[in-house]
Every structure is written in C-alpha cells, then in structure tokens.
Structure 1
Amino acid sequence: MTDEKPATETLLDPAELRSALDGVHHAGVPGVFAEVRQGEQVWHGASGVADLDTGNPVHPGMRQRVGSITKTFVSAAVLLQVEKGHVRLDAPIGDYLPRLVPGERGRKITVRMLLNHTSGLAEYLPYAFPSLKELAPESLDDNRFRQFRPVELIALGVDAPSTGEPGSTPGVYSNTNYLLLGELLQHLSGTTAEEHIAGSVIEPAGLTQTGFPGEPQIEEPHSRMYEALFGRIDPPRDYSVYNMSWVMPGAGLISTVEDLNRFYGKLLGGEIVTPSSLEQMRRTVPVIAQDGRTLDYGLGLYKTETADGGTFWGHDGTVWGALTMSWTRDDGGRQFSAAMNLARWTKPGSEPHPIDDALATFKRQAM
C-alpha cells in the first residue's frame, strides 16, 4: 500500500482512506488505486497488484480504461458546439443525421434526448455481443480484435425494439445514444469525434494523460484488467488488450485518477463550458441504468447524495475488466476518483459480494 500525506493539516484522514482502500483489495479486487482531494490537499493511494502473474503492484499514476466516464467528455464537446451556435439541444437529430435515424424517430428524438438517455433507442451491445444474452463470454473473446464501424453498431440499436417513446421518463441508459453523438460531432467538426474531443476538451483542460487509444494496447504504465462477467469467467480473464471500436465515443477513453479529478473540477468550476451550459448538464431526469438502478441523470453526468446531505456530480464507468468512478462535490471542495482492475464480480441471484460492502465503505470515506 502506498499513500502520499500532505505536509499540512487537512480534513482528509490518510489512515482511514488507506484502510478503506486496503479493504477493497482484501475483499477480492486484485488492484485498486485512487486520488482524493480536499481543497488544495491531495491524497494518493494504491492497494494490491496490477498483474496476478507477476505480482507487480498497482500505483496511483497508472492509466485506466475509464468506460462511460467518456460520456461526460462527449457531452462537454456537444455543449461547446451548442455555445457556438452549430447545434441546438432541442433540435431533432434527424436534422443532422437523417440517414442514421430516419423518418418519424429522427424528427422526434432530439440532441438532448441522446445526451440524457430519453431517446428510447435500445442498447446495441446484446446484438454486437450476442453471447451476453446468456451471460456467456464467447463474444468477448470473438470481438477482442474486431474493428467495428460506429454506423453498424448504431443501426443495431436503431433497428432494435424501442425502450420507450422519445422524451418519456424514466429513460433507459443506452450506448447507442452516445455513438450517435460521436457521429454528430464528426458531422459538425469535419474530423473524428475522438480528434474533436481531444482538441476541444482534453487539451484545453490540460489533461496530459487522457486520450482515446489508437490500438488495442494501452501505453504504460497500466494494470491488467480482469473480467469476471458475473461469475461466469472463473478465474477472471485479462482483457486489457482490446480493440475499443465497439464503444469508442461512449466508453473508450483512457485516463488517470489525477486527470479525472482535474477534469471534473474544471467542468463543475465553469472552466470548460459556460455556466448556462453547465446548468443544462445538471438538469436531471430519472434514467434506468444497465444494472437496474435509477439514476438522476443530466447531460453526460449524474448526481448522487451522501448520507449527510452532500451532493456529488460525476460518472461511473466500466469496460471489460475495469471499473472506474469519479465524483466531485457540487461546491468543488471534495473530489475522489478510483480505479479497479476487476469488473462484474457478483453472480446473479447471489448475496452481495464482500467487494460491494468494502467499496461502499471506501466511497463513504472518500466523500
């Protein structure tokens, strides 16, 4: 276990944070690392191993596939286009991408509905990864190096049965929405969504360790990423080498816990989008997540409340073998980002896993 204790007194409790992070590792996560900020004070911690074969330890500066945290970056890029007058939040997506969402649905579904998951467009993943319908891992292995085209994935979601009428709530979380937003950014900017987000959001925010991968491998330093698929892969399998074209604009970003805290701090501090755009991002609706929870979802980010009445904004994210979370208090005074190299450890219908309790303990301490 490593940690960095600030030289001055702070409201952070390094011993408690270190103990809680160790608890996540001891409960079954091979490796976990985090950064917690209280004002100008910063604590870094890591517990466990980055590689089960070599026993090399994790450390707080490692790069991580951050999954759906990517959606906040996409949303910020779209809002910047709104500010420039290049797109309207309540304009039909059919005005911009009529071939991808044709006919009446294209006229009813707005850009805002894509951002807050109230479009009614279904998730494409069960169709691109058909073995997931039986919680079987074959599709994960079959698609490891497959190069998907966004338009073919979007078509799977658009052609699938709708999850509801456009604009109705609760919305249903769907990566199809964010692949469409990636195509929208490309349409508006004339470059790929990934290049546009890098130039409009990542670089201006000074995020030097954040970017979209150009190949299946992750640049060092990084951890292996072990997928359990709800207990169906035992022992969990390493999917750290993976072609992320299956979800790139929705969940393909690589970052560090330090960069994530910097990003959300700047975003919620009004340094990336204008205050009026941020207000739009924080207008929430109920959205049913893929794990069945109901989220208070805005435009690319959502909120959570602590037991003492605090409000935090951010996003969680998973890809095969990796789980990441990043949360910032609404006044910006407290932040934490954490990354784990194990995903989907709980078997369906089983009792809560010890990891769940340990992770909840760490989150309470970090918040």
Structure 2
Amino acid sequence: MPGVFAEVRDTGRTWRGASGVADVTTGRPVTPDMRQRVGSITKTFTAVAVMQQVEQGRIRLDAPIGDHLPRLVPGERGRKITVRMLLNHTSGIPDYLPYAFPSLQGFPSLPDMSTDSIDDNRFRQFRPAELIEMGLAAPPTGEPGGPTGVYSNTNYLLLGQLLEQVTGTTAEKYITRNVIERAGLRHTGFPTGPRIEGPHSRMYEAFYGLIDPPRDYSVYNMSWVGPSAALVSTMEDLNRFYAKLLDGKIVSRSSLAEMQRTLPVRRDLDGTMIEYGLGLHKVDIQGCGTFWGHDGSAWGAGTISLTRADGKRQMSVAVNLARWNKPDSSGKPQPHPIDGALETLYRQAMCGGASAQAEHAPQVPVFAP
C-alpha cells in the first residue's frame, strides 16, 4: 500500500494521520488533508438531493420512474420501477460498467480478461443516456421491488437524470448548491476535467494483479460514473457531511428515517451482501455500535466513511491503491495482509478503547465504484 490517510473524530476530539507516499517515484508523502476521488460515497450525496426534492413535493419515493423519465425507462419497466427502488438498488436494472468497460467482462475469470478498457476510456466523455441504455439493455438482475437488491450504478445515473428533470439544472450543479454548500464543505466537488484540483495523491490501480506493477490513474475523465461516483473530497469534509446528515441538518429527520430503512443488497463484484438503505450503508459492530455511511472507489483510489448512529464517533479513511487482492486458481480474490491491517485500523478508529471487546471489525470494503 503506497499511502493511507484518515481522520477520526470522537466526542469533539479529532485525530488526523497519514502514512506512506503519494508518489512512488518521487517519494512525496501523503498528508491527511489530501483530496481523493471518493467513488460511490457520491451516492449518499445524490440520495440526499433526491430526498430534498421529496420534501419539496417534486418527487414521490414510490412514484414510477416512468412518470418522470418515460423516454429513458419506457413501458412496463418504467411503470414498475419506483424512485425508491433506484435508491435502494431493488430496481432489477443491472450495472452498465461491464458494458462500458468490455475488456473487464467475465470477472472473476481473470485469465479471460484484460484491462485495456481502463486505458481506452481514460479521456472518453460518456453521456449519461448511453450508459443508462447499456444497463437497461442487459439481462435484469431480478424483478423490481424484490426483498433483496443488486448494487448497480445505473440506478444512480437515472437518479441524476431525475434530478435534472425536476430541478431544471444538472444533478452536479444541484448537489453542489444544495448539498455540498449547505453542509459547509470546502474541499468537495465534482471534477470539471480529468485532473483533480488541489493537493492530492497519485492513484494506483492493480486490478487483482492484472496491472503489475500498479499504474497511476489519477488523471481520468469521470463521466463514466457522474452523480453515481465522481465526487472529489477530503476526509475532513466527509466526516463533516455525515455528521450533519445524521444530525438532521441537511434533510429532515423523517427523510433520514427513510434513508435508514435497509434491506440486503448484493455486490456482484465479490458476492457480498450489505445492509443498504437509500444511499446509506449500515454497519453493525458487536460491542461497538451501529454505524452509517458508505465506501467507494475510482481507479486507483479507495475510501470509506462511517459515523456512529449517535454521531459521536466518526472515521474516514483513504488509500491510494485499489484491488490489490490477487486471485486463486478459481479466480476468487484472496485475502492479503493489507486487509488485516485495514481491519485493525478500522477497529481502533471506530471502537477506540472498546476495540479489544469488539468481536467483529467492519468488513473490509470492496471499495466498489
């Protein structure tokens, strides 16, 4: 792991730390205040924006998405899939990523894959509609509104289009004005080009050993994820955002309660099940408490941000290497010492003095886009 940096808050006290390098060539160190591509943590911001529109009466959670976006989701599918199903991944719409990055199809059968698509798309400008069409054209992952969901970026691109339709501006502009600025975040925003503005680390992608040595993908056009996973932020800003969200300062308490209604959602990348609400991931740690937040990834970057339900304990951690686990003969990524080190860090950060009694550390996240 080239570099890791974090901020932990505990009842008014704050710890910031960093270790390692931001550039393996020059040896430039990482620092706790660096900006990071935070991947799917963006989904919480987008979900908050949708809930604000729900509060204003412009969106109904259980309205069919076809009422708002009949051209994008026509026919029976548009009538069956609701806004809520997009938010909690029970729409049955699969992820478009394997089709936008065709050389990555077939995971976890790594011998049959290449990472050519990652390089091919470095500066490609995707349109949301073309990515959504890829997801809608793929075989459904289930019936809309089922008891379990399947994690899909297509859902959140559709929510971005919904926000644009009801607000008259892009999702990125609406989220900037009404979520990021409302929360008082100073170093968070959607990128306007392939480069990150401000101090940041290089971001190294290994893709389960297919890229060896790992390559730097810190310069990248993030139109492939948009309002699903394109945000840049700092660990300080993420802790501030989730603290205000859970304190009812960005959406109402009733909206927050809706966001915290969870069900099991499967991540196809590794088959794990997570407890997912409306843009929020629930993590229960025995002997330590219930935490809310999200994790995320971009090529070369992984981030996780979790806040205890009472708001008194927070952790945001960033790493500048992604998908370090090499597969076994069946193609399944295997545990790595980095996983154990992260588990130890998470346990200490989230449980503090109770870490010795906490029997289960939070599961090391997939850092999924």
Cα deviations by residue, 1:176-207 (Å, 9 ceiling, x for unpaired): 00000000000011111100000110001100
Partner of 1:303: 282
For the 8 Å contact 1:323–1:342, the answer to whether it is kept is: yes
Equivalent position to 2:214, from 227, 230, 236? 236
C-alpha distance in structure 1 between counterparts of 2:129 and 2:322, whole Å: 28
User: Where does the alignment leave 5 or more consecutive residues of structure 2 unmatched?
Assistant: 106-111, 351-369
Query: SS state of the match for residue 230, structure 1?
Result: helix
Partner of 1:40: 12
C-alpha distance in structure 2 between counterparts of 1:305 and 1:276, whole Å: 22
The Cα of 1:307 is off from its aligned counterpart by 2.7
C-alpha distance in structure 1 between counterparts of 2:35 and 2:58, whole Å: 34
Equivalent position to 2:122, from 144, 152, 157? 144
1:352 matched to 2:335: yes
Partner of 1:365: 348
Partner of 2:309: 330
Paired residues for 1:5-154 under 5 Å: 29-133=1-105, 134-154=112-132
Query: SS state of the match for residue 27, structure 2?
Result: coil
For the 8 Å contact 1:34–1:46, the answer to whether it is kept is: yes
Partner of 1:19: none
Partner of 2:170: 192
The Cα of 1:348 is off from its aligned counterpart by 2.2
The Cα of 1:293 is off from its aligned counterpart by 1.0
C-alpha distance in structure 2 between counterparts of 1:130 and 1:83, whole Å: 39
The 3 A distance-change label for structure 1 pair 358 and 178 is: same
Cα deviations by residue, 1:336-366 (Å, 9 ceiling, x for unpaired): 0010000001012354100011111100011
Query: SS state of the match for residue 308, structure 1?
Result: coil
The Cα of 1:128 is off from its aligned counterpart by 0.5
Runs of 4+ in structure 1 displaced over 4 angstroms?
Answer: none
The Cα of 1:169 is off from its aligned counterpart by 2.6
The Cα of 1:309 is off from its aligned counterpart by 4.6
* TM-score (norm: length of structure 1): 0.91
Equivalent position to 2:235, from 241, 245, 257? 257
| One-letter amino acid matched to 1:292 | G
The 3 A distance-change label for structure 1 pair 135 and 169 is: farther
Cα deviations by residue, 1:258-279 (Å, 9 ceiling, x for unpaired): 0000000000011000000000
| One-letter amino acid matched to 2:310 | D
For the 8 Å contact 1:169–1:287, the answer to whether it is kept is: no
Cα deviations by residue, 1:20-56 (Å, 9 ceiling, x for unpaired): xxxxxxxxx1000000000110000000000001100
Paired residues for 1:152-167 under 5 Å: 152-167=130-145
The Cα of 1:244 is off from its aligned counterpart by 0.2
The Cα of 1:302 is off from its aligned counterpart by 1.0
Partner of 2:189: 211
* TM-score (norm: length of structure 2): 0.91
Equivalent position to 2:293, from 280, 291, 314? 314
C-alpha distance in structure 2 between counterparts of 1:291 and 1:39, whole Å: 35
C-alpha distance in structure 2 between counterparts of 1:109 and 1:145, whole Å: 33
1:277 matched to 2:236: no
C-alpha distance in structure 2 between counterparts of 1:63 and 1:217, whole Å: 12
| One-letter amino acid matched to 1:85 | G
| One-letter amino acid matched to 1:353 | H
Partner of 2:271: 292
Paired residues for 1:166-185 under 5 Å: 166-185=144-163
Cα deviations by residue, 1:220-243 (Å, 9 ceiling, x for unpaired): 200000000011100001000000
User: Where does the alignment leave 5 or more consecutive residues of structure 1 unmatched?
Assistant: 1-28
For the 8 Å contact 1:118–1:166, the answer to whether it is kept is: yes
